[in-house]
Structure 1
Amino acid sequence: GIENRKLFRATVSALRKRKAKTTFTWIKGHAGEAGNEVADKLAKEGTRKPIPDLVEIREDTTLLLPGAKLQSMTQSKAYKMIRQVKMSKRAYKEKLNRKATKRNIELAKHAAADDDGGLPETSRIWKSTRHKDVSRSARFFLWMLLHDGYKVGGHWAKIEGHEFKATCAQCGVTESLEHILTRCDAPGQDEIWELASEMWKLKTGEDLPKPTKGQIMVCATTKKKDVGTTRLFRILISESAHLVWRLRNERVIQEKLPASQNEIHNRWLGAMNIRLKLDCTLTNAEKYGKRALKKDLVQSSEERGDSPQRLDAGDRGFGGYRLMN
């Protein structure tokens, strides 16, 4: 469960090989220390390299203790360690080595490219699907998007008796996740992205173009001008996309009538306010301790801006929208 654990293990084994005593001294950053300044310079040069240097990392397993201390073990750490062991197995890696997954990862990388055209590491894309700014249900949704795990379009074309499910009944084209989330003419996606854009405009004064499938998959890696705005963006995109998907399933899988404009508006507003209520609950430091959200973070992402057309008696939720009871 520790990031860069291989480097730590190799470092520990190298130190244990030494027969002489090894001591460490803490150096305050940016204090004019020559060695520290050079180290910072080299680190910056390393981050700018398009291709990382190949460094041989060896660890002497005879000098490393296997397992973990029981007294420092938690359920979270145990789960992460079990998951790492599972993910390191060949069978698991082969299952992940799918063409659809590779294609989506490349799409996500290019959507998350920085201003200089640099592409993020694959590990960063996967890590973003577990970001705490995104709700648990939306995290699973993003993970499934990356894997192309939802059965739509071409999947049904290969199953006898279900071929008709491959085509969007509203648009008459082969259905795909890109089509469902950003292009379909059925009630839902256009209205939801318009609501998200309206809230973003109220909060930031900027326009929010309809995202692509790639941008939706990497919404948790996106960074804006400040922490609060970044967090709002991640919530808006992930919750809105997830609601588009749920409305589609109700219409297509459950064969319900298409949602009305009023229902779509209320469902979207409800999804936003559920997040608001949850965030307010999670600011309780007495109950959640170190895991509690900071109140100023929640306020910075949820209390700016107002909308005279939608203000009403009662509490203000996101961007001036009334908190529904």
Structure 2
Amino acid sequence: MSALRIAFNSLNQHKLRKLCLMTQSTAYKLIRKRKMETKKYRELLNRKATKRNMVLAQNAVADPSDELPSEGKIWKATKHKDVSRSIHFFLWMMVHDSYKIGRYCDKISGSEQQGVCEKCGVTESMDHIMTKCTEPGQEQVWGLASDLWKLKTGAELPKPTTAQIMACAAIKRRDAGTTRLFRILVSESAFLVWRLRNERVINKENPTSARAIHNRWLKLINNRLGLDRAMTNEHKYGKRAVKKTLVLKTWCKVLKNEDDLPKDWTRETEVLVGIG
């Protein structure tokens, strides 16, 4: 057998082993990613709803004295490094208005009632889910985000619009640290609101208690804080590492017992946000 044939067989066996070890979730993500990259799929998504949301997102970012940001900037923001990878697809779908909620259900025989919020009695929309629904979830989540934001800035965080959520990673605040915390708070909070809705509507679970919502939100934000601390390790993460100065600026003023922490707390193990 030629050396080329041996190398070819070895490569195929390696790929087969990787395929066998692949989880169903990973396989689905790879298939979805490949589908999203096809020209046909992108053309199907280039419709009125996408264009409408794009304009809303652009206006949410634009300063009154500046020109609208490009569409490319908005799309790039949905995959921004300040946003968790698990949330990239969520923001991308929001811009495309591709979640099957509300009036979409009217087109499916027998599913008409699923498009109506049981608690509020109105047609579901992303705006309703994110900012208006009276079911346990959005009101408390945004309240917690505002509490942490107030520690950082001294001012409450107004509940973001759906346009601001879609474009959160393109919106700038007064400095790099404040901007980054804004992106983290808005993206993580919005995705939690979405998951709470799905657990209730799709999985038919009972509404989550106020205490459970509080604990889940706090865990999410503390996990992001912990990830930030870990990602400052340049020896481990190389070019993917986050600058220590940026992490310190992001979380300053919002940490628990911050005055007792060393100036560089990124190597400390028990660092948490200051609401609990």
Q: TM-score, normalised by structure 1?
A: 0.68
Letter in 1 for 2:272: G
Tell me what 1:214 maps to. 163
Deviation of 1:306 (Å): 5.1
Instruction: Give the deviation of 1:270 after TM superposition.
Output: 0.8
Note the alpha carbon deviations across 1:146-170, whole angstroms, 9 max, x for none: 0111110011111111111010001
Matching of residue 317 in structure 1 with residue 266 in structure 2: no
Q: Any residues of structure 2 matched to 1:162-173 within 5 Å, and which?
A: 162-173=111-122
- State the partner residue of 1:302: 251
Q: How many residues align?
A: 233
Check the 8 A contact 2:256/2:271 in 1, yes or no. Answer: no
- Return the match for 2:71 from 117, 122, 131: 122
Unpaired runs of 5+ in structure 1? 1-82
CA contact (8 A) 1:302 1:317 kept: no
What is the CA RMSD across the aligned residues, in angstroms? 2.2
Correspondence for 1:46: none
| Structure 1 position 111, deviation (Å) | 1.2
CA distance in structure 1 between the aligned counterparts of 2:45 and 2:255, rounded to whole angstroms? 45
Q: 1:264 is matched with which residue?
A: 213
SS at match of 2:158: coil
Greater mean alpha carbon deviation, residues 270-279 or residues 245-254:
270-279
Cα separation, 2, equivalents of 1:263 and 1:164: 28
Aligned equivalents of 2:239, 2:123: Cα separation in 1: 48
Which of residues 146, 162, 170 in structure 2 aligns to 1:197?
146
The alpha-carbon deviation at position 95 of structure 1 amounts to 1.9
Equivalence map 1:166-185=2 (5 Å) = 166-185=115-134
Contact 1:219/1:234 (CA < 8 Å) preserved in 2?
Answer: yes
Q: What is the rounded CA distance, in whole Å, between the counterparts of 1:288 and 1:110 in structure 2?
A: 36
Unaligned runs of 5+ in 2: 1-33, 261-268
1:95 and 2:50 aligned: no
Q: Distance in 2 between matches of 1:283 and 1:275?
A: 13
Q: What are the equivalent positions in structure 2 for 1:207-246 lying under 5 Å apart?
A: 207-246=156-195
Other-structure match for 1:113 = 62
- Residues 18-76 of structure 1 show CA distances to partners (whole Å, capped at 9, x for unaligned) of xxxxxxxxxxxxxxxxxxxxxxxxxxxxxxxxxxxxxxxxxxxxxxxxxxxxxxxxxxx
1:291 maps to: 240
CA distance in 1, matches of 2:97, 2:42: 16
1:226 deviates by 1.1
- Secondary structure of 1:278's match? helix
Distance (Å, rounded) in 2 between the aligned partners of 1:114 and 1:157: 38
Distance 1:140 1:169, change over 3 A: same
Q: Letter of the aligned partner of 1:219 in structure 2?
A: C
Match of 2:204 in 1: 255
